Amino acid sequence: MKLLKILSLSIAVILVVLALSYEKIIANALLPQYIAWAQDTDANGLKIGTPLNEQELLLAADIGIQKPEKVRIVYVDEVPFPYENFALKVLGETLGFIGEGIVNNAQVFGYSIYIRKGYQLDTPKLAHELVHVLQIERSDLTSVITQHFSDMAKYGYENAPLEVEAFKANQKYSARY
């Protein structure tokens, strides 16, 4: 019985320490793992994805992408996430990337845009994803992922600055089409 109390107290202390230092844990331990996984996911997408068609290339250029010919669209049953990594899975659930009732229809990893099969990728929605490509092109994948994770924790999905910029493209291109 005494061992159970000591174990319970130890777990509680560990959880408190983790809660107080979660930003450091995310920045120093989890983000590098996620970034490495995302870079591999992009590399795979560049190999297996479909290039943009002529109309999509024009849209990408209009959005400001410098190298629209590099963009690839990958249709998948489920947008990838490193579910096999328990810590990243918990982080993804905490930030609202994954979890019960959450369906990720599209996600950008560098020049690769992963789209869930059955998701109607119309012009405004593609414009949204292409803005994410532009954001990565303006900076780099590591910086954008770092900012996005931080912003999601601070503001939530809809108010995260990178998403706000992308949602403006939804509105802009909805009015045109």
Helices (H), 21-102: 22-25, 31-48, 54-63, 86-95
Q: How far apart are CA 96 and CA 88, in angstroms?
A: 12
Provide the whole-model pTM: 0.82
**Residue 90 vs residue 3, higher pLDDT:** 90
| pLDDT tens-digit map of 9-50 | 567 556 545 554 455 555 556 889 999 999 999 999 999 999
| Residue 6 confidence class, pLDDT cut points 50, 70, 90 | confident
